[in-house]
Amino acid sequence: EARRGGRRSGLTFEPVPPNSLDDVVVPDGYDYEVVVRWGDPILPGAPEFDFENQTAEAQSKQFGYNCDYVAFFPLRGSGRALLVVNHEYTNTELMFRGFNPATGTSPEDPERIRVELMAHGISVVEVRGRRRGGYEMVRSRRYNRRITAMTPMRLTGPAAGHEWLRTEADPGGRTVLGCLNNCAGGLTPWGTYLSGEENFNQYFVNAGAVEDPAKRASYERYGFGETLPDFGYRGWERVEERFDLAREPNEGFRFGYVVEVDPFDPESVPRKHTALGRVKHEGAETTLSRDGRAVSYMGDDERFEYVYKFVSSRRMARGNSRRAREHNLTLLEEGTLYVARFSGDSPQQEIDGSGELPSDGAFDGTGEWVPLVSGEESFVPGMSAAEVLINTRLAADRVGATKMDRPEDIERNPVNGRVYAALTNNTRRGAAGNPGPDEANPRTNNKHGHVLEISEEGDDPAATRFRWRVFLLCGDPDDPSTYFAGYDKDQVSPISSPDNLAFDRRGNLWIATDSGGALGQNDGFFAVPVEGPERGYLRQFLTVPVGAEACGPRITPDQRTIFCAVQHPGEVDGASPDNPASRWPDGGQPRPSVVSVFKTGRGERRIGS
């Protein structure tokens, strides 16, 4: 085991070889158990899952579809915890027989649509440790909760109540039904759950019929289809009129926010915080500045979109008093929203798109956090604070922020203080009519993505200046355009499309991938030290079944369990219930599920050992 300066990675597991197996594959000496599957009953009175006869009433009390972000909140002194999970989207073609994606119809309509509304959102599930390792679900009456696409939520912050957020059903512009496409998220230091609404445009039709040209232009910038969405047409407007922008032109502005949920209070109303801006939010991992303010790092996951951060105006209150909690629950309602501008330190002609390092030996440079809005004050000419927060992409365009290769999770490493950003991929970088390579996004046709390492000035998350460098250029290590922080490429695992990030207690970086088979292998988890002689020694820890994306990762505070959300198993072109591409996890139709992974046998139980 390598060590330097007393720092050991502690990563000694045998890597899992690339494979295309229809199972979760873990290293020797490890095992996994399914904790909760799509359709498992989680609320009192919920029926058992019945694929052939699913109903909205059942789904509203069962675990939702396409589990993504996973949070773990220990319940003090009980050995139990709350698992909180996003349900990003529905694979209608895998959930129902006979679905026609061209018309957005199925033989079971309209009940099929109501099921999908209930399969979106968030689940809160109580779990308890198993003797053997890992966790199992508890059908808790106290905490278990389903949040769906129909759950009332409150808009907060400077844009709440703005004219663009008012609808016929909600003339005050402050109450929205549901959250959509919740992808990654964040944990707050005050013990709440954050969830990012990502590709919310795909649920709406008829943006081209909106009369106001400013609204129409905004919808276009966010990728709303003029008639039907570009992908994933589900026909929801036939059950919920508000998804037809010809009938409710403002409904689309009420999605695309970071949602905060108090998992310990099942009666609490989820809140959409406009102060954190409206983009296709991946996550919002949150830490504290040196003076105790909340800092949330956020990616807008689309090609050539931006990296953001929010810094709260007020400091977090310490302690467990009711007053402290009430104060902390308001922190994300007021603050400053920044967007990142990256500058390289090498001549642009040395950044030729091949991935070859420039003559100074690094893709690196400096950067600044450009303020867009602070409280009610806008820094963007011609836009009010509320307009910046609703049309955040348009505001960031105006200040010349850096166009990135699909920003996903961005998270501060609690051990070394640096911030890591996953740029998942961008095959259009350098293509005709698109931006070419720059030092922070140095490869043309960036098929496999990269990871940046950011050092905030003074190691303060609230700083407005930073230094950065490319940590990984992903791909098959035989591909000369790859880079693993300078580590010997003969020893690392192939990796494509980094998405979700996490850190273990020693500060090693854990990466979940979402490649759609770009390297001809299943997606999975990877672990890589960021310090010492093993910096860049990236190894595959786990793989997920055919067609699935690996989400999470979540390592428990005792370091003995890692959760993986297996999203969309069997999502393969042409797959359907009559022709499934995966039979995971139970031999029937594929079911998105959360698994816990743990060590077996005697000795060291720490994940990664």
Where do contacts with ligand FEO occur on this chain (CB under 6 A)? 88, 183, 198, 282, 301, 408, 499
CB of 405 vs ligand FEO, minimal distance in Å: 12
| H-only helix segments in 140-238 | 213-221
Q: Which amino acid is residue 272, in one-letter code?
A: K
Give which of ligand FEO, Ca ion, none residue 300 binds (C-beta under 5 to 8 Å, depending on kind): none
CB of 184 vs ligand FEO, minimal distance in Å: 7
How many other CB atoms are found less than 10 A from the CB of residue 114? 21
Cβ–Cβ under 8 Å, residues 309 and 292: no
Residue spans of beta strands (DSSP E) within 325-439: 335-344, 364-374, 377-378, 404-405, 407-412, 419-423
Q: Is the dihedral of CA 519, 524, 525, 527 positive or negative?
A: negative
Give which of Ca ion, ligand FEO, none residue 364 binds (C-beta under 5 to 8 Å, depending on kind): Ca ion
The separation between CA 472 and the C-alpha centre of its own chain, rounded to angstroms, equals 19
CB nearer Ca ion, residue 105 or residue 543:
543
Question: Distances in Å between the alpha carbon of 351 and those of 358, 434, 439, 472?
Answer: 7, 16, 6, 16
What does the DSSP 8-state code read for residue 441?
Answer: B
User: Which strand (E) or helix (H) includes residue 388?
Assistant: helix 385-390
CB of 239 vs Ca ion, minimal distance in Å: 27
Give which of ligand FEO, Ca ion, none residue 251 binds (C-beta under 5 to 8 Å, depending on kind): none
Q: Distance (Å, rounded) from C-alpha 29 to C-alpha 292?
A: 41
CB nearer ligand FEO, residue 30 or residue 525:
525
Phi, psi of 162 (to 5 degrees): -60, 150
Q: Distance (Å, rounded) from C-alpha 152 to C-alpha 183?
A: 19
Give which of ligand FEO, Ca ion, none residue 346 binds (C-beta under 5 to 8 Å, depending on kind): Ca ion
Cβ–Cβ under 8 Å, residues 185 and 284: yes
CB of 549 vs Ca ion, minimal distance in Å: 7
Question: Distances in Å between the alpha carbon of 1 and those of 8, 9, 12, 560?
Answer: 7, 8, 7, 20
CB nearer Ca ion, residue 436 or residue 557:
436
CB of 186 vs Ca ion, minimal distance in Å: 13
CB of 237 vs ligand FEO, minimal distance in Å: 23
CB of 503 vs ligand FEO, minimal distance in Å: 19
How many other CB atoms are found less than 10 A from the CB of residue 5? 7
Give which of Ca ion, ligand FEO, none residue 345 binds (C-beta under 5 to 8 Å, depending on kind): Ca ion
CB nearer ligand FEO, residue 116 or residue 409:
409
Q: Which amino acid is residue 114, in one-letter code?
A: R
CB nearer ligand FEO, residue 159 or residue 518:
518
**N-term to C-term CA, the chain:** 10
User: Which strand (E) or helix (H) includes residue 122?
Assistant: strand 121-129
What lies within 8 Å, CB to CB, of 179 at 6+ separation is 120, 121, 122, 147, 149, 151, 153, 195, 197, 255, 257, 259, 270, 272
Structure tokens at 117: 């509304």
CB nearer ligand FEO, residue 183 or residue 470:
183
CB of 607 vs ligand FEO, minimal distance in Å: 24
CB nearer ligand FEO, residue 499 or residue 531:
499
CB of 498 vs ligand FEO, minimal distance in Å: 11
Give which of Ca ion, ligand FEO, none residue 558 binds (C-beta under 5 to 8 Å, depending on kind): none
Q: Distance (Å, rounded) from C-alpha 24 to C-alpha 61?
A: 27
Give which of Ca ion, ligand FEO, none residue 586 binds (C-beta under 5 to 8 Å, depending on kind): none
Structure tokens at 359: 């003559």
Binding site for Ca ion (CB under 5 A): 183, 345-346, 358, 360, 362, 364, 499, 514
Give which of ligand FEO, Ca ion, none residue 228 binds (C-beta under 5 to 8 Å, depending on kind): none
CB of 201 vs ligand FEO, minimal distance in Å: 13
Cβ–Cβ under 8 Å, residues 227 and 267: no
Q: Distance (Å, rounded) from C-alpha 443 to C-alpha 479?
A: 12
Q: Distance (Å, rounded) from C-alpha 80 to C-alpha 433?
A: 54
Give which of Ca ion, ligand FEO, none residue 360 binds (C-beta under 5 to 8 Å, depending on kind): Ca ion
The structure tokens 């032109």 sit at: 249
CB nearer ligand FEO, residue 248 or residue 282:
282
CB nearer Ca ion, residue 356 or residue 360:
360
Q: Is the dihedral of CA 163, 168, 172, 176 positive or negative?
A: negative
CB of 316 vs ligand FEO, minimal distance in Å: 28
Give which of ligand FEO, Ca ion, none residue 88 binds (C-beta under 5 to 8 Å, depending on kind): ligand FEO
CB nearer Ca ion, residue 170 or residue 285:
285
- The four Cα atoms 68, 69, 74, 80 give a dihedral, to 10 degrees, of 0
CB nearer ligand FEO, residue 240 or residue 305:
305
Give which of ligand FEO, Ca ion, none residue 198 binds (C-beta under 5 to 8 Å, depending on kind): ligand FEO
CB of 68 vs ligand FEO, minimal distance in Å: 7
CB nearer ligand FEO, residue 158 or residue 498:
498
